Amino acid sequence: MTDGRRRAILIGGALAAVAIIVAGVLVLWPSSSDSKPVADDGRQVPTIANQGPSTGQVLDTFLKAMSSGDAAGAAASTDNPAAAQEAVTALHKAIPPGTLAYTRATSASPSKGVVTAPVNAKLSAFDSPKTWQTSVQMAEVNGKWLVNWAPTVIHPQLQAGQTIAVVGKVGQTGQDAVLGDDGKPIAVWEGTTAKPTDPRISPLLMKALVDGASGGGTADTRYVAIVDAAGKHVGQPLFGTKPVESANGAVKSTVNGKIAIAAQNAVDKASAPTMLVAIKPSTGGVLAVAQNAAAGSALTALNGLYSPGSSFKIVTAAAAIQQQNLNPESPVQCPGDAVISGRKLKNANSFVVADANLRKAFARSCNTTFGQIAVQLPADGLRKAADQFGLNANYDIPGVKSELGKVEDAGDAVQRVEDSIGQGKVLASPLGMAVVAATVAAKKPVVPSLIKDSATQVLTGYQAPSAAVLGQIQSMMADVVSSGTATELKRFKSVYGKTGTAETESQGDNAHGWFVGARGDVAFAVLVKDGKTSAQAVSVTAAFLSGF
């Protein structure tokens, strides 16, 4: 044999060997039409040769059917169709429809006729999806790739006869979430969120009303757990926490929808930071809490402390009646200005009320009159009177943080003069001044509440002045509207109250404006921060009263 012929035979043999190797590789790798598994280093992972669909095709078909709840379709891709169909059927009975998706990861591990593929699972039944990883084994059976069925395909912790379930309740769309004081819904469920029936209904209170309620105040009580065939929990939840109660009944609140809308409409008309709190004197129930955008997103109307200005004269007048034996007709002095124990006081624009009595001085808001009254009171006189109107009371109102006020003894005469007109060290929140007005209206102590099924805890209560004293205060507050500083409100029947201007820097600059009053079984306090005078607060009150 010549050297040339020998070389030709050798080359031909080598080419044949290469062809056999290449053919073998082509048989081992999935067809190009399949989305191929990829190893961590980026190489495609070979699968074992068979006559049917590739491993990737079988796996994708199986995962798609299992995700959609097609139990029969998923079962057809397994080596145990009966067990697989039963398990997939049970799974989709225990989770919300359309919330579960299984997808294969980017690598697979072939070994001796078996391919193990990691699989990602995603449960989107919650605001934050729950994810886990499991794996699927496939083997060649009679020339076809099939999934080796096992409960761990669903979740790695599952055993035979078990499944995963979404347990608990969530408010159903359209179902009542929060009821008003009249039993009518003021918020309904929309998915997992309680939506007010009107966005103007005390919007800052809605979260407190839902989250702060006992026995159903949580929007979503669901969690994920392993359960057996009888639905009994196995072990601890996989995701979330099992609540003490999973009931989701409507929260029964004290809020009145119509009054709350009127309150929000009224404060929204003001440009300065404005707040309004309304209380039902007969029950203490909070009817509305309204703040405009300028007042911020925190519920400061319930716990922010401010100088109440002349609205505090309600308290000073009660001290005068009880501690100095005055009455509304008692003669008093109301000069335009006066120096009292070294503190110079003046009335707005230095007005003078001739032949004044306590009623006229109160209606016109004579600073000089009330300064003279205070200087004759004992050090604890104003503090004791403030106690009788709840300004030093302390309550734990479920769902909200509250603070009514702070009034201390004033041993110094100048301090008593300052405190008598609601400045100095006297502080109150709009909630606190609403309680003052409610005390006058009810002629008894008032305990503020928000949720009917969750009682307010009284940490420090109070005893109100006698009904006779409060009746005199109420009659003087009526004069404020009929002939005093709030005559803009005369057009509303049976309204009484007290204006207030609290200087925060100097006369007329950055002063807070107040109106504190009542009409029927609605007591309220309006605060306009930096409103300069009480006029804006009176205008907000007029808008409020026009709305219900």
Encode pLDDT of 443-475 as tens digits: 999 999 999 988 999 999 999 999 999 999 999
Tokens linked to 394: 């302390």
Alpha helices (H) in 219-356, listed in sequence order: 257-268, 313-323
- What is the fold of 55-166? Nuclear Transport Factor 2; Chain: A, (3.10.450)
Q: Identify whether the C-beta of residue 405 lies closer than 8 Å to the C-beta of residue 425.
A: no
The model's confidence at residue 8, banded by pLDDT at 50, 70 and 90, is very low
Is the pTM of the predicted complex or chain greater than 0.95? no
How far is it, in rounded angstroms, from Cα 263 to Cα 518? Answer: 14
pLDDT at 29 > cutoff 50: no
The model's confidence at residue 39, banded by pLDDT at 50, 70 and 90, is very low
User: Which one is predicted more confidently, 506 or 293?
Assistant: 293
* Residue 293 neighbours by CB under 8 Å, 6+ apart: 268
Highest mean pLDDT among 222-231, 302-311, 343-352: 302-311
The percentage of residues in the chain with a pLDDT greater than 70, rounded to a whole number, is: 84
C-alpha angle 408-413-417 in degrees, rounded to nearest 5: 75
How far is it, in rounded angstroms, from Cα 369 to Cα 417? Answer: 10
Q: What is the mean pLDDT of residues 21-36?
A: 35
How far is it, in rounded angstroms, from Cα 262 to Cα 352? Answer: 37
Tokens linked to 478: 């009526």
Q: What is the mean pLDDT of residues 241-248?
A: 59
How far is it, in rounded angstroms, from Cα 69 to Cα 88? Answer: 7
The model's confidence at residue 38, banded by pLDDT at 50, 70 and 90, is very low
Identify which of 258, 260, 250, 256 has the alpha carbon closest to the alpha carbon of residue 202: 260
How far is it, in rounded angstroms, from Cα 365 to Cα 476? Answer: 11
Find the Cα–Cα–Cα–Cα dihedral 389, 392, 398, 399, rounded to 10°: 100
Tell me which DSSP letter residue 310 carries.
Answer: G
User: Which one is predicted more confidently, 206 or 121?
Assistant: 121
Within the chain, all domains assigned CATH 3.40.710.10 are found at 257-545
According to the 3-state scheme, what is the secondary structure of 139-163?
A: EEECCEEEECCCHHHCCCCCCCCCE
Given this model, what pLDDT does residue 111 score? 63
Within the chain, all domains assigned CATH 3.10.450.50 are found at 55-166
The model's confidence at residue 248, banded by pLDDT at 50, 70 and 90, is low
Chain CA centroid to CA 260, Å: 17
Chain CA centroid to CA 22, Å: 67
Tokens linked to 19: 């062809």
Q: What is the mean pLDDT of residues 343-358?
A: 93
Other beta carbons within 10 angstroms of residue 492's beta carbon come to 15
Identify which of 249, 267, 263, 213 has the alpha carbon closest to the alpha carbon of residue 449: 213
- Amino acid at the residue 65: A
Span of 49-53, 120-124, 478-482, 497-501 with lowest mean pLDDT: 49-53
pLDDT at 97 > cutoff 60: yes
Q: What is the mean pLDDT of residues 258-269?
A: 97
According to the 3-state scheme, what is the secondary structure of 462-495?
A: CCCCCHHHHHHHHHHHHHHHHHCCCHHHCCCCCE
Tokens linked to 484: 């005093």
**pLDDT averaged over the chain?**
86
Tokens linked to 303: 């716990």
pLDDT at 196 > cutoff 70: yes
Q: Identify whether the C-beta of residue 318 lies closer than 8 Å to the C-beta of residue 477.
A: no
- C-alpha distances in Å from residue 316, one per residue of 362, 419, 431: 10, 9, 19
Q: For 445, phi and psi rounded to 5 degrees?
A: -65, 150
Tokens linked to 350: 């230095």
- What is the fold of 257-545? Beta-lactamase (3.40.710)
